[in-house]
Structure 1
Amino acid sequence: MLKRMRCLLKKSQGMSANVPFRKKIRGILQGFRLLAIRQHLGPHEYERWREFPECRNGIRKKLRTAMAHSPSMKISPFEPGTELEKVIDRFEHAWHSGIAPGIGAFLPTQYTPGDPVRVKLLRELVKTDLEFRWRQSASDRSFARASSRLEYYADLFPELLQHGIVPLDLITEEYRVRQRWGDHPGYAEYLARFPEHAGYLATSLQRIDAELAVEFSRALPAKVGGLDNQVATQDESTVLPAKLGGSGHISESLTAGPPLALVVDSPAGGALPQIPGYEIQEELGHGGMGVIYKARQLSLHRTVALKFMLTDGPAFADLRRFQIEAQAMARLEHPNIVQIHEIGELDGRPFLTMEYVAGGNLKQKTAVERPTARQAANLVETLARAVHAAHGQKILHRDLKPHNILLVGAINAPLDQCVPKITDFGLAKCVDESAGPTLSGAVLGTPNYMAPEQAEGRTADIGPLADVYSLGAILYELLTGRPPFEAGNVLDVILKVINDEPEAPSRTQPTLSRDLEAICLKCLQKQPLERYPDAAALADDLRRFLTGKPLRYAASYKSTRLYGWRVAATAAVVGLVLGLVLASGVSVILMPATPPAAPADWQEQVVQERGRADDNALLAQRRADLLDQEKAANRENLAKALAAAETLLEKADAVFPAHAPPKETGALLQEILPSIDKFLDVQPRDVNAPRSLELSWRRLGGLYKRFAMPQQAEQAFRHAIALSKVRADEFPKEPLFRQDLAGHYHQLGLLMRTLDRFEEAEQAYREAIRLGEKLVEDDPVDVSYRRELARYYQGLGSDLERAGRAGESVVPYEQALSLLEKLSAANPGDADLPKAWESVQNSLLGHFRRTDQSRGEEKVHRWSAEFWEKLTLNNAAIASYRRKAAGHYHLLGMLLINSGRPADAEKVYRQALAHKEKLHQDFPKVSDYQSTLGATLNNLAILLRDR
């Protein structure tokens, strides 16, 4: 009968008139499958399946067990009842119990990495894990989406790759579950992440969209076999329970999730969004955080530019920056600032529509047309008045450059006939904001046009005068044809911005007005207070230049330029002469040209010699003082250079996400990282080297590691270790230096473990542990020492486990848990400690499961249940803590039943029940809590019945 209905369904696929008929058949098929599940599992187990993760390929995953039970319905890649099928069942059960399991813990040890059976199982586990993780992230925003990408799994299990390429079926599976659970990625993202599949990836994704459209539009029966298909979701991370001051509920949604965002093919082979009220015409380009489209607003019959958030599941900083841009532009009404029309959202992604400017940007215009000096002055005056208006609204731009100056006018129109408009406020910041989305010390902006305080990452010093500097840099480029500072790589540009003075524009343009040159160079002063007091003052001086009036603000700067150069030159000559004198002064005094007269007696000789010694000592001291001053200046320059390197590294951290494909980032890495490496390598490696040098080496090593450059990463980490060793040996009582050294060893251990160099990894971890234990012994109060020591214990345990010495890994794992338990008790509000605990707990549970040590597994479940339970007492509003406590009690109950201890099992089941009833009471519309509550009730009922 099922086969017959499938045939009917297939025949009806091409007949649009048969949509109700197809829906009816699909509903009947769904009912049969659910009945098969009930029959296969039995009544007492059926409730454990009340809430399934949404199926793959329509209904595939939801019905795995039932299909395995019947040959005609079979879809599982493994035979029913085999050990591999049981592995998948255990993995799903772990998820249903409320615990996010680690895949590695479920891989049978009899299969070595690369074994075809292991790879097949691994791919099924990854697909299952993807489903659960994206499902969880749909109702819990705190759930990390970074670990739900295929690149994350490929890093953990390289054997997933086929000839170094992610298989297409995994790519389409990730796309499917993300669409199903409301993330709605675009084709462009997948084409960028997996360019090796570009020839057929778009077609595959279109097929998935078609399947999902049918799935989401299908009308399932309201109840089939007692299973209610109306499943609500709730965000427990942001909604307080009703009894704790919250509403206790938010909007409901069907299991299928929100409707898909419709897409159409773009000329580039990607996808254009379809937004109600707009007709998307073409892609114009990419901004800092979004893609910009040309669109037509249907209601007002006007062309607009539509900026759409580019990243998927955007990080908070990216989303916040996008929101800041929208808010900043919405607050500004000025004829020379691009106007915003609407702020909206599509499928959780924000977008904004703004004035469409068709004349290109200033960078494009000046590439074909060099403006005259008066045109340049007039243009920058206009921009300065617009910037001053933005500053009046307490908005800084922070990324002014020719690319962000759009021109209203025909493409071929002369520059003086175009109206400039400032756009791209993606880095805008309110002047009175106490904190923004920029990481502390992070460099944001374009180095060629950024102010020195911005290049150094001194965010507290970045104010309106940073925009004045950028306007001066734009004026400089308009006058000379190039920005004030250029170099072969980004780091050298930043170093020049920080340390060098710009070349006078008149060097390349001898006929340039000295007044205009003075205006330009005053904007480019290193110290903000030496620039114009505001953008309006700059505009006023430019207007005075254009009208032939004396300058008001740059006049004093202009009059002192030549004098300043003469003073500097004189000082240089004096310094040179003094240096020569000091270099030869001692010998001149010790070997005078004219021999002294013989002393009258020995006492007079003593006095003369003492005088010469005093003179020598005085000159030597003066020479030493000058050398100290030189060293101090060198140290200051080194500190600035290191600050630039460090902020560049921070920028690389922020710009390059963990899942970024090498093809996208390779060019930037080739430019940035090797230049930093070369710079760091020539610095002194002694106790006088600044501490930031070794920290820069460590960060550089981390970036090399992220982008699969292990040799460079190892070298960088070992440089950091060598520097820290010198410092720690010189200052043995300074804990900070030992803490740095332990951290360097930890990073080296992580790298060695990744490369399967387990012995070297163990050595590094044990050295980190030795240093960490000494730090804790000397200062048992400092939380950071114990937290880091727990991390070192965990790293050693993971290394031993991967090296095939799993039995030895138990001790360091338990040491880590013990430390984390004490830390959490003393710091119950620290959200990072539970994450660390869960990671170690899963590793330890995985070891005991693989080795069939039920007593060890029982110990960890009990330990974990009590840990999460204690956290619940101090964090009642965080439902996930209570859910995890309940999940561990539930699994502990199952272990106790299997070991023949029903009385103990009843006790822990009742503890699980108490937590789950509380969750259901506080969050009555969260389907997961209903499902797991039913599972515990069933198990407890069976236990009591059998007794």
Structure 2
Amino acid sequence: MSDTTVELRGDERPDRRILLHSNEHSNRYDITSLKGKGGAGRVWIARDLRLNRDVALKELISSQPDSAQARFLREARITSQLEHPSIVPVYELDLHQDDGTPYYTMRLINGDTLREVISRHHSEPINEVSLARLVQHFIDVCHAIAYAHSRNIIHRDLKPSNVVVGEFGETVVLDWGLAKDLGEAQDEEDVSDELFANELTEVAGRTSAQTVVGNSIGTPAFMSPEQARGDLDKIDQRSDVYGLGGILYELLTNEPPFQGDKASTVIDQVIQGKLRDPLVVNPHASERLAAICMKCMQKTPADRYASVDQIITDLHCYLADEPVSVYRDKWHERTSRWVRRRKVSTAVVIVTLLTSIIGLSISNIIISGEQQLTEQARDRADTAAETADYERRSALTQYRHAHAAVAQYLTEVRELQIMKDPNQRALQEKLLNSALQYYETFLSQETNSTVIMAQLADASIEVGNVNLTLGRLEQAETILIRGRALFRSLVARDPGNVDYRIGLATISLQRGFVEARSGNHRGAIWYYSQAIEIVEETTKRHLDSVANQVLLVTLLNERAMRKFDRAEREPAIRDLDQAFAVVQKLPKAHPQQEDVMVAAAI
């Protein structure tokens, strides 16, 4: 159900403490508001007066037939057996005092449905970080279903609207009303399947995204072909694999896998396997994720992933930039991955090739961009709004590729062994200067695009680092001033974006380096303090981020050293103590732990 909370009307405010519970529990719950309502039931937000906490209370509407009550009780029983972080726990099952209809209480989840999160993602410019978060939420769903399968339970109604993403990143699978226990005794299983089959003839007239009210059979747009045909003996774990593929399909395209005015029309499409390729619906979708999706949604169960664990493995490979089992990488993708794994042995060749190739690539991109502008001007009168949007996205993609190429070059240069040799200063400056001129080309642009502004802000950090490495303090300060302005603008546009806030803190750290090297220890402390305030506020909400904790330790160490320089011994020791406390949260043997020990010794 939706996360929208509806305040109770006057006629919906009886003494719920008495009506909702049997005598021994009549004073335990106090209903506050209506959270959501479906055809067969509704969910209230209630206050557990005994434990002093808010819970969700789901009740069956009293006018429902006996079959609906049987399914409601099955949902409560099955859900209560599944103890997993991504499955909402059931607290208590009871009956209404007045009419005997059942209800149960469960954990209250505040957040948005996965469908709403997906819709927001697609309404914004292309964002790899946002996509990675979505994929992680999907992995959480897969883990929940894999756990249910390990208990011989299948869900049979998987779709984005049955998944909630909580306020703090938790992912929860809801609505187990159609779930089936494959290990049930035969007579119980027959009752479940009979309820499931009897409703197939009642589908006509329903919408494709709706679960049929009453003795539900599932959601047509996301159900498997064997489920749509009513082949109940063939519905098993691989049917849920198909449903997971449907969720991934909407994640990639912002559309359900099948569409039609009536559910019967959609079911015919499902049975015939008339599935549009997600890359046709959204050409910008990841080819590897699309391949995983299509493997899940094969018409024949034997052609799908054999288990949800196999899906999880491929998704982890995707996030780690490793090959996935159902997609053959193109030659340039394999080459790029090969180079990244052999940095030392190919370092000299990489420097030579990248210097030439990047220059050529940027030139080609600039020429291609000018050609696109010319073609757009010539065809503008005949070009539809959809084409204009496609060109805009393509231009952004080309820009990001150019920026990524330069960033890759700088990363490869920094990791060369000669960069650690104090006798190779002249060559080091030559290599860094070649990267610097490309970054300065990027920074000369003026734009109002949030995506490009973010790229420019990140570039200012890299240029600041290069100038600091080369000892060019004035140039570093000039670039960092502009970078700080860019990050402040980005934070103003999206105050909740963690990456923008951490970027602003990183810029302040670099400004502190400039001040410290100039001998202005007081100015350095001021910038470090600004950065620490930002990072501490951010880590309150993102305690699991090792990178943020490492940044906080670095800032505390630097501020402590500058305070020692100013003979402010007690404040410096307090900074080191705080750094020690943060280090305890880092993984064992993390390099930052040694840094803190050295700082303390000094």
Larger Rg: 1
TM-score (structure 1 length as normaliser)? 0.29
TM-score normalised according to structure 2 size? 0.45
